[in-house]
Amino acid sequence: MATDKAWGGRFSAELDAGAARFLESVSFDKRLADEDLRGSLAHAEMLGSIGVLSPEEVRALTEGLSALRDTVRAGDFPWDPAREDVHMNLEAALGPAGQRLHTGRSRNDQVATDLRLWARGACASVGALVDRLALALVDRAEGEIDTLLPAYTHVQRAQPNRLAHHLLAWVEMLERDRGRLDDCSRRLNECPLGSGAVCATTFPLDRERTARALGFLRPTRNSVDATADRDFLVELLAALAITATHLSRLAEELVWWSTQEFGFVELADAHATGSSMMPQKKNPDVAEVVRAKVGRVVGDLVALLVVLKGLPLGYNRDLQEDKAPCFDAVDTVSASLAVLADTITHLRFDRPRMRAALGHGFVTATEVADWLVTRGVAFREAHGVAGRLVALCLARGVELSGLPLDAWREVHPAFTEDVFRALDPEVAVERRDVFGGPARRRVLEALADARARLDARRGPTP
Domain of 325, CATH number, reads 1.20.200.10
Does any domain span residue 69? yes
Q: Tens-of-pLDDT digits for all 462 residues of the chain?
A: 334 444 556 777 788 888 888 888 999 999 999 999 999 999 999 999 999 999 999 999 999 999 999 999 999 999 999 999 999 999 999 988 888 999 999 999 999 999 999 999 999 999 999 999 999 999 999 999 999 999 999 999 999 999 999 999 999 999 999 999 999 999 999 999 999 999 999 999 999 999 999 999 999 999 999 999 999 999 999 999 999 999 999 999 999 999 999 999 999 989 888 888 888 888 999 999 999 999 999 999 999 999 999 999 999 999 999 999 999 999 999 999 999 999 999 999 999 999 999 999 999 999 999 999 999 999 999 999 999 999 999 999 999 999 999 999 999 999 999 999 999 999 999 999 999 999 999 999 999 999 999 999 987 644
234, amino acid identity: V
Instruction: Report the number of distinct structural domains present in the chain.
Output: 3
| CA gap 44, 291 in Å, rounded | 46
Q: Which of 310, 331, 351 is the last residue of a domain?
A: 351
Shared domain check, 135 and 83:
no
Domain of 372 in residue numbering reads as 357-458
Does any domain span residue 12? no
Q: What CATH number corresponds to the domain at position 64? A: 1.10.275.10
| CA gap 297, 291 in Å, rounded | 11
Q: What confidence score (pLDDT) does residue 19 get?
A: 87
| CA gap 58, 200 in Å, rounded | 22
Q: Which of 287, 320, 351 is the last residue of a domain?
A: 351
Q: What confidence score (pLDDT) does residue 7 get?
A: 54
Does any domain span residue 174? yes
Q: What confidence score (pLDDT) does residue 3 get?
A: 43
Q: C-alpha 180: how far from its chain's center?
A: 8
Q: What confidence score (pLDDT) does residue 8 get?
A: 59
Does any domain span residue 156? no
180 Cβ contact partners less than 8 Å away, ≥ 6 residues apart: 238, 239, 242, 243
Q: Which of 152, 167, 146, 165 is nearest to 426 (CA)?
A: 146
Q: What confidence score (pLDDT) does residue 460 get?
A: 60
Does residue 423 contact residue 405 with C-beta atoms inside 8 Å?
A: no
Does any domain span residue 421? yes
Shared domain check, 119 and 64:
no
Ranges assigned E (strand) in 205-326: 218-219, 265-266
Shared domain check, 238 and 381:
no
For residue 126, give Cα distances in angstroms to 120, 123, 200: 10, 5, 33
Q: Which of 341, 363, 357 is nearest to 290 (CA)?
A: 341
Q: Which of 37, 192, 165 is nearest to 101 (CA)?
A: 37
271, amino acid identity: H
Shared domain check, 48 and 169:
no
Does any domain span residue 47? yes
Does residue 34 contact residue 70 with C-beta atoms inside 8 Å?
A: no
Q: Which of 311, 328, 351 is the last residue of a domain?
A: 351
Shared domain check, 187 and 319:
yes
Q: What confidence score (pLDDT) does residue 6 get?
A: 43
3-state secondary structure (DSSP) of residue 325: helix
| CA gap 60, 73 in Å, rounded | 20
Q: What confidence score (pLDDT) does residue 42 get?
A: 98
Q: What confidence score (pLDDT) does residue 97 get?
A: 84
Q: What is the pLDDT of residues 29-47, one digit of tens each?
A: 999 999 999 999 999 999 9
Shared domain check, 261 and 138:
yes
Does residue 69 contact residue 37 with C-beta atoms inside 8 Å?
A: yes
Does any domain span residue 154? no
pTM of the full structure: 0.93
Shared domain check, 298 and 177:
yes
| CA gap 32, 30 in Å, rounded | 5
DSSP state of 273: B
120 Cβ contact partners less than 8 Å away, ≥ 6 residues apart: 185, 188, 189, 215
**What are residue 153's DSSP bridge partners?**
156
Shared domain check, 238 and 123:
yes
3-state secondary structure (DSSP) of residue 262: coil
Q: What CATH number corresponds to the domain at position 445? A: 1.10.40.30
Shared domain check, 294 and 193:
yes
Does any domain span residue 9? no
Shared domain check, 317 and 381:
no
Shared domain check, 269 and 125:
yes
Catalytic residues: 154, 275
